[in-house]
Structure 1
């Protein structure tokens, strides 16, 4: 465990890039052999706007990396934060709790707030208006959302008290998990269900991408599924019934246009209140 911590404490930028590209490539290829849906689309054409927003996310995170590093160094030097206030514990438990709580602030809480606060929902909408969810959808976030997510992660660093090694480990895991859960892959239902008791599984997260409420407002987690289960936001939906997108924003052509997506947070329309029960 100490070797892992030491590695992530000084992880080279090249290695972080390889995690991003390697994960994307792996799940891209896996989608071809184990597809959940046989999309009739030009995969590269669909990927272009998603990869554009992946690039903007990378730029924003890189630009503010020094803030994250300085904050993580400060909490370590001052023994600040939840995991530093707890009684002394084994290193593996310290790491696990750090990742678990950072996942709450950096992923679950950020995601939940984005769905409940209308201006933030309008920003997050860019992620939900992908009609063909695959691994490239993972980082389809408007630049404003990238800033919001960074802010919540920074909050997590202070509240949880995570040193930079755990922050880097969390970000690497978060990246792989979001590529995994968005990938257009079909795991055996029993396996997917079993995984969902511990981690966010592909079927669990894709329920969140169903085009109508109440499923859109559920399953906010990224790595650990415990937060959805404990806080009552977990929902199950048969994956064969999934329809991606947002019911009040159905224009797939516009939702694939980078210029339109950049303007999407500033458009004026109401979030649908139509529940899944009314569509059956």
Structure 2
């Protein structure tokens, strides 16, 4: 455990980039060999849009990283935050509690709020317009949403009182988890079900990308599945019934053109339709 802390305390930016690129490459190869769905689409065009949006997220996080660093340092210096107020515990448990809480605020909570708040939904909508979910879809976020998610991550660091090494560890796990649960990979259903009791599995997250309510408003988690089960937002749907996208933007010119995707939050309001199955 001390080796992990030492590594993430000073992880080079090049290593973080390698993890991001390596994850996309690995899961892309796996999903090509064992696809969950056989898409009829221009994969490189689709990947180009998603990778561009991933790069904007990287740039925004890089430019704002000093805020995260200052926040983490302040919590440790001033002994502020949940982790600082808890009694002493084994290092592995301290790390697990911290990661769970960061995932709750930085992933589950912000995701839930984005779905329930109209103005935030208009930015998050870009992620849901993807009708061909694969590993490149993981960071298909509008630049505006990247700022929103960064703000919640910072809030999480402040409330949790997590040291910077834990933040780097959390972000690394978050990237890998998101690439994994978005990947178009076929996993035996029993394995996926077992995984879904601990982490967000591919089939579990694919339900969230079904184009109709109420499934769109379910399975908000990213790393840990406990929060959806605890707060009653977990839902299941046979993979054969899943249709990707969002019912307000099913036309290809709406969801497969970068220029239009960037404009969506500022266009006519597209609130989610409530369509009964």
- TM-score band by shorter chain is over 0.9
C-alpha distance after superposition, 1:222-280 (max 9, x if no partner): 000000000000000001111000112111233111110000112223310113x3xxx
Query: Which residue number corresponds to residue 274 of structure 2?
Result: 273
Query: Which residue number corresponds to residue 24 of structure 1?
Result: 24
Q: Deviation at 1:76?
A: 1.2
Which whole-Å CA distance do the structure 2 matches of 1:91 and 1:270 have between them? 45
Query: Which residue number corresponds to residue 80 of structure 2?
Result: 80
How do 1:1-280 residues align onto structure 2 when only pairs under 5 Å count?
1-268=1-268, 269-275=270-276, 277=277
User: What are structure 1's unaligned runs of at least 5 residues?
Assistant: none
Which whole-Å CA distance do the structure 2 matches of 1:167 and 1:61 have between them? 13
- The 10-residue stretch of structure 1 (14-23 or 242-251) with the greater mean CA deviation from structure 2: 242-251
Q: Secondary structure of the residue that 2:215 maps to in structure 1?
A: coil
Which whole-Å CA distance do the structure 2 matches of 1:151 and 1:45 have between them? 30
Q: Deviation at 1:80?
A: 1.0
Give the number of aligned pairs: 276
Which whole-Å CA distance do the structure 2 matches of 1:15 and 1:92 have between them? 23
Which whole-Å CA distance do the structure 2 matches of 1:30 and 1:163 have between them? 34
Q: Runs of 4+ in structure 1 displaced over 3 angstroms? A: none
Q: Is the 8 A contact 2:71 2:154 kept in 1?
A: yes
Which whole-Å CA distance do the structure 1 matches of 2:190 and 2:267 have between them? 41
Q: Secondary structure of the residue that 2:62 maps to in structure 1?
A: helix
State TM-score, norm by structure 2: 0.98
C-alpha distance after superposition, 1:76-113 (max 9, x if no partner): 11211101101100000000000000000000000000
C-alpha distance after superposition, 1:208-235 (max 9, x if no partner): 0000000000000000000000000000
Which whole-Å CA distance do the structure 1 matches of 2:8 and 2:94 have between them? 15
State TM-score, norm by structure 1: 0.97
